[in-house]
Structure 1
């Protein structure tokens, strides 16, 4: 498996992805048929005549659902998730919409010695000059995901207290679900015992995909099938997430007058990593820093009237901090002012915060980054000895700012130094704001979703997870 994917997809016990003794089931079929054809042709042709090699194409869906292995690694073709594919659609009759993550902006800001706001505006100039229709901000959809996560936690916490933890649907701790590397690992190796604990809320990437294809398309005078939606993410695992069958919907013959009922539409058509966007910039042979700064598209972008970006703190989405703050106020009437201080435990990638009422701990949250820490947490949950209520889980050490799709350290710069720099840059010109006060989120609930936790919100902003049973072949080693 490529080093670009998260550690959770590369570690030894995740044999769906890395055991070298296994071959991809798709390529096996193709290779077998090719060998048979070659053997037949060799009987008929002179030995000097060589058979033409045939490329084996494997889609992301094959990789995600395959119970075999995608080892030989760099040869796997991620067909619909490439820079060339993006450029080809910019030049097509599709309306291309790009949604950019704040982590990617921070990485580009570090590379070009700019602020995240400057990067965002310059990228908007570049992308629109290529023919992109709109450029949005996934901080907006992250606020939707955070609001739903807060609502989900309050509901599960109350159920858990009433039932003593025995009522179906009240499983605690809740494990955040925004990291696709962690989700893929959970589905493929941990099975059904851990899946009830995982938050059902979609990641910001998929939340903005849902908003664009199900709601914003109408505001733009477009049909979902006419939009090619691209996200810019810090992580290669996001390519796998976008290809999940759970994030494909079927057009219905509704009052909107869809002409293609039954057509299958994906929420996110393609994912580009930060590094791939840097490749795009460099391919233009331009001075990126000298580009003009375009006005931002306000429809789905966290920018206020004065032009300032706003959002939550936390380079991995701020899930633990936001939910903790909301739960403290909603459940115990405690207003927490200022930043929340997480206590470092076994290492800097495992931290916790506790709320006490009358000397008793009533809320216990944790940040769990990196696979080693994750294994310890999973082990405790399995044996029923995990006393946390909510855990923000990320597969990569240091979280999303350290995603495999981010720009690598410059010559002479260590990875640790780069992470520290990204953490400082991330909120450099961004105002801290409560997701519940976000006017865009309020509008989307008013016009489209109803209210947090509603049936519509569950339909469009939540998902399901599936334990994937390995085939016998995937569990065998070379004999």
Structure 2
């Protein structure tokens, strides 16, 4: 869908430059510079998305844990100092999204655009929304940062202070399933003017990791594994942890369960989905005594997103929350993922999904490290710093033919 959005005028020439500035070649340049200028080294941190890890595991026929250990070893051999897992930062995104939804639900009578709350973790969708529907759609979009950008805040904020470094002394790279994550990292909202540095300096796709491996002449399966860095990783005794609810982060599922309990005192063990026109548009409803209490939906892919926006414009969207993702089948099928070879795309995607779902799930609320960081790093869940580090804003982009008047 990266290409779909580009065709529809959402990727401009100026943004294409931003994409080319963030590449595996750029990472190599920084690592080589570190070797030459040992007295002015940057601390290089790589944060890997679980979707990218699953794609690489499928490619090299590894378990997700083996892939994580071998990726850690590979990056460190290149000169990377720490390798983390963005599943960790997604805990913050899920918890913030849950709280934000309940706040919006409670004020829906005063604020007509409080609901439906629309997910904000997909930059392809955000790009389309800001440029095509601007001020109409923006109030509906969740203000919670994506896991990538929460990880950026965590690395350039808390981690930097723990290492007695300033944010500009760290070079932070993320491995993502999506090209549009490069645009997200380049937004001015995620730039620190005091230190003239971005929260995420460089985004490389899963496919670019594969090119890095090829460049070094190694297969991931042949790399000797290394212990995982556990400071900011969802690991327990060398066991990977993830979140339930699908390959796009499980936002719908977590918010649904939390809202059911918080708003109505109902404990939901498993969310039941009802497919509509296709598997990329599904609904989930919470009912009691014949009354619908919560109406949620997921809308994946450009066509379903367009239908959703049209429903909103006509006042016919009865949803309280929608998990919106630009790519059909969600993030596991992102434009930056590894493409199938020797098998059908459908079979390979199923393999990636199976590996992704094989990782044991954790509940964000029960992660003591997250609770600890809310207090130590942010000063509590309702603090001003928590708002600065975990929330963001959006901007209606004026339509232009030059492609350079972009408010990123």
**Shorter chain as normaliser: what TM range?**
over 0.9
Give yes or no for contact 2:10–2:127 (8 Å, CA) kept in 1: no
Q: CA deviation at 1:123?
A: 0.6
Match of 1:433 among 362, 365, 368: 362
Partner of 1:285: 217
Give yes or no for contact 1:6–1:396 (8 Å, CA) kept in 2: no
Instruction: Tell me how far apart the structure 1 counterparts of residues 81 and 285 of structure 2 sit (CA, whole Å).
Output: 45
Q: SS at 2:173's partner residue?
A: strand
- The gaps in structure 1 that reach 5 residues or longer are 19-23, 25-61, 64-69, 71-75, 252-262, 475-479
Match of 1:149 among 84, 93, 97: 97
Q: CA deviation at 1:118?
A: 0.7
Partner of 1:10: 6
Match of 2:143 among 157, 175, 200: 200
Match of 2:71 among 108, 123, 139: 123
Q: CA deviation at 1:119?
A: 0.5
Please identify, of 368-377 and 218-227, the stretch whose mean Cα deviation from structure 2 is larger: 218-227
Q: CA deviation at 1:450?
A: 2.9
Partner of 1:180: 123
Instruction: Tell me how far apart the structure 2 counterparts of residues 436 and 214 of structure 1 sit (CA, whole Å).
Output: 22
Partner of 1:383: 314
Q: CA deviation at 1:293?
A: 1.8
Partner of 1:328: 260
Superimposed CA distance per residue, residues 313-350 of structure 1 (whole angstroms, 9 cap, x where no aligned partner): 2200100001001101111111112x423111110100
Instruction: Tell me how far apart the structure 1 counterparts of residues 72 and 43 of structure 2 sit (CA, whole Å).
Output: 15
Match of 2:389 among 453, 460, 465: 460
Superimposed CA distance per residue, residues 200-239 of structure 1 (whole angstroms, 9 cap, x where no aligned partner): 0111000100111011111123221100000000000101
Superimposed CA distance per residue, residues 58-81 of structure 1 (whole angstroms, 9 cap, x where no aligned partner): xxxx32xxxxxx6xxxxx574431
Give yes or no for contact 2:19–2:183 (8 Å, CA) kept in 1: no
Partner of 2:107: 159
Instruction: Tell me how far apart the structure 2 counterparts of residues 432 and 77 of structure 1 sit (CA, whole Å).
Output: 35
- The gaps in structure 2 that reach 5 residues or longer are 35-40, 404-408
Matched, 1:264 2:260: no
CA gap of 1:185–1:147, structure 2 versus 1, over 3 A, is: same
Q: CA deviation at 1:453?
A: 4.3
Matched, 1:250 2:193: yes
Match of 1:216 among 125, 134, 159: 159
Instruction: Tell me how far apart the structure 1 counterparts of residues 125 and 243 of structure 2 sit (CA, whole Å).
Output: 22
Partner of 2:371: 442
Matched, 1:406 2:337: yes
Give yes or no for contact 2:42–2:170 (8 Å, CA) kept in 1: yes
Q: SS at 1:364's partner residue?
A: strand
Q: CA deviation at 1:383?
A: 1.6
Q: CA deviation at 1:120?
A: 0.7
Partner of 1:32: none
Instruction: Tell me how far apart the structure 1 counterparts of residues 100 and 86 of structure 2 sit (CA, whole Å).
Output: 21
- State which structure, 1 or 2, has the greater radius of gyration over its C-alpha atoms: 1
Q: CA deviation at 1:451?
A: 3.1
Partner of 2:26: 85
Counterparts of 1:291-370 in structure 2, within 5 Å, are 291-304=223-236, 306-313=237-244, 314-337=246-269, 339-370=270-301
Instruction: Tell me how far apart the structure 2 counterparts of residues 233 and 406 of structure 1 sit (CA, whole Å).
Output: 8
Q: SS at 2:151's partner residue?
A: helix
Q: CA deviation at 1:289?
A: 1.5
Between the two proteins, the alignment pairs up a number of residues equal to: 395
Instruction: Tell me how far apart the structure 2 counterparts of residues 78 and 465 of structure 1 sit (CA, whole Å).
Output: 20
Partner of 1:42: none
Q: SS at 1:275's partner residue?
A: helix
Partner of 2:380: 451
Match of 1:237 among 158, 164, 180: 180
Give yes or no for contact 1:6–1:237 (8 Å, CA) kept in 2: no
Q: CA deviation at 1:311?
A: 2.0
Q: CA deviation at 1:287?
A: 4.0
Give yes or no for contact 1:6–1:181 (8 Å, CA) kept in 2: no
- Report the TM-score, using the length of structure 1 for normalisation: 0.80
